[in-house]
């Protein structure tokens, strides 16, 4: 089985590590590298041999559409496409590619380790056999699967995105420090991560893409991104991957 992963840090690299640990022949591209490989023609020679393509772009729907279109047109017709359903629904992602029946959405939030729960969702045009293939793939690399209904963010993204956004609003409006917000949640609620340090790990651009997607689909003010989050993304303060977010990193 040959696997292709195209996406953003840290999602793509953590899934790659699990695939390789499971003995799967895996190629990974970060977003900018994938588009460079498309232009050079290199990746187009590789796509017809791929059995499972994993697309993980959460930052902007337009860029996600371009990535899925470029990826899908080179794949064989029955290749399984797994698409991150954090910024858009599986149904929407399937509408951007030929053969939407083989598109299955998923939701994962870093850190992604063995026994992490991954949500799997069929779009309105997905065939059931591809859902089974998706579940088999995720189990093969050591993840626990939950098959859920389709929708932007699925369950995990909707719940955690809303919670982290509220933590950012609290920081924005209360005058508290990021450390204070994180310590109150981590120790007061026995939560495994402080919400702001977790946002830094996920990537503030990915979090903004998730919230923008939820707000666009529902028009529900609960999902309106905090202005501070948007301002930080515009400034390039994306969290760990850029060296600066709510905290500073080497």
Ranges for all domains in the chain classified under CATH 1.10.1040.50? 154-242
Which helix or strand (DSSP H or E) is residue 214 part of? helix 204-218
123-149 residue pLDDT tens: 999 999 999 999 999 999 999 999 999
* Residue 37, pLDDT score: 82
Kindly report the backbone phi and psi dihedral angles of residue 182, in degrees, each rounded to the nearest multiple of 5, phi listed first: -65, -40
Q: Is the dihedral angle over the CA atoms 33, 51, 125, 160 positive or is it negative?
A: negative
> Percent of the chain having pLDDT more than 70?
100
> Percent of the chain having pLDDT more than 90?
86
Ranges for all domains in the chain classified under CATH 3.40.50.720? 2-147
* Residue 88, pLDDT score: 96
Classify domain 2-147 by CATH number. 3.40.50.720
How many Å apart are CA 7 and CA 14, to the nearest integer? 11
Residue 45 confidence class, pLDDT cut points 50, 70, 90: confident
Torsion, Cα of 250, 34, 45, 140 (10° steps): 70
Q: Is the dihedral angle over the CA atoms 182, 212, 201, 237 positive or is it negative?
A: negative
pLDDT surpassing 80 at residue 180:
yes
How many residues belong to the chain?
Answer: 250
* Mean pLDDT, residues 200-209 taken together: 97
pLDDT surpassing 90 at residue 32:
no
Considering only CA atoms, which of 235, 239, 158 is closest in space to residue 196? Answer: 239
Residue 41 confidence class, pLDDT cut points 50, 70, 90: confident
82-92 residue pLDDT tens: 999 999 999 99
Residue 36 confidence class, pLDDT cut points 50, 70, 90: confident
* Residue 2, pLDDT score: 96
Kindly report the backbone phi and psi dihedral angles of residue 87, in degrees, each rounded to the nearest multiple of 5, phi listed first: -90, -20
Q: Which CATH architecture has domain 154-242?
A: Orthogonal Bundle (1.10)
Kindly report the backbone phi and psi dihedral angles of residue 82, in degrees, each rounded to the nearest multiple of 5, phi listed first: -105, 125
* Residue 46, pLDDT score: 87
Residue 60 confidence class, pLDDT cut points 50, 70, 90: confident
- Mean pLDDT score across all residues of the chain: 94
Cα 168 to chain center, whole Å? 20
**CA-to-CA separations, 162 to 13, 144, 186, 210, 219, in angstroms, rounded:** 25, 23, 17, 10, 14
């Amino acid at each position: 089985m040959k696997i292709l992963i195209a996406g953003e840090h840290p999602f793509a690299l953590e899934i790659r590590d699990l695939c390789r640990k499971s003995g799967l022949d895996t190629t990974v591209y970060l977003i900018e590298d994938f588009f460079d490989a498309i232009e050079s023609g290199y990746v187009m020679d590789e796509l017809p041999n791929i059995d499972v393509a994993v697309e993980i772009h959460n930052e902007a729907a337009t860029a996600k559409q371009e990535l899925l279109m470029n990826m899908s047109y080179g794949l064989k017709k029955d290749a399984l496409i797994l698409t991150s359903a954090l910024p858009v629904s599986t149904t929407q992602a399937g509408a951007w590619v030929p053969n939407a029946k083989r598109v299955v959405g998923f939701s994962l939030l870093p850190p992604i380790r063995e026994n992490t729960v991954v949500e799997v969702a069929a779009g309105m045009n997905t065939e059931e056999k591809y859902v089974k293939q998706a579940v088999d793939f995720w189990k093969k690399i050591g993840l626990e699967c939950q098959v859920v209904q389709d929708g932007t963010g699925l369950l995990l993204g909707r719940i955690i995105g809303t919670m982290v956004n509220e933590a950012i609003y609290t920081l924005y409006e209360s005058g508290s420090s990021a450390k204070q917000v994180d310590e109150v949640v981590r120790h007061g609620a026995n939560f495994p991560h402080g919400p702001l340090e977790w946002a830094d790990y996920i990537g503030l651009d990915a979090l903004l893409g998730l919230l923008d997607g939820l707000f666009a689909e529902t028009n529900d003010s609960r999902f309106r991104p905090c202005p501070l989050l948007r301002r930080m993304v515009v400034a390039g303060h994306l969290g760990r991957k850029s060296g600066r977010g709510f905290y500073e990193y080497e």
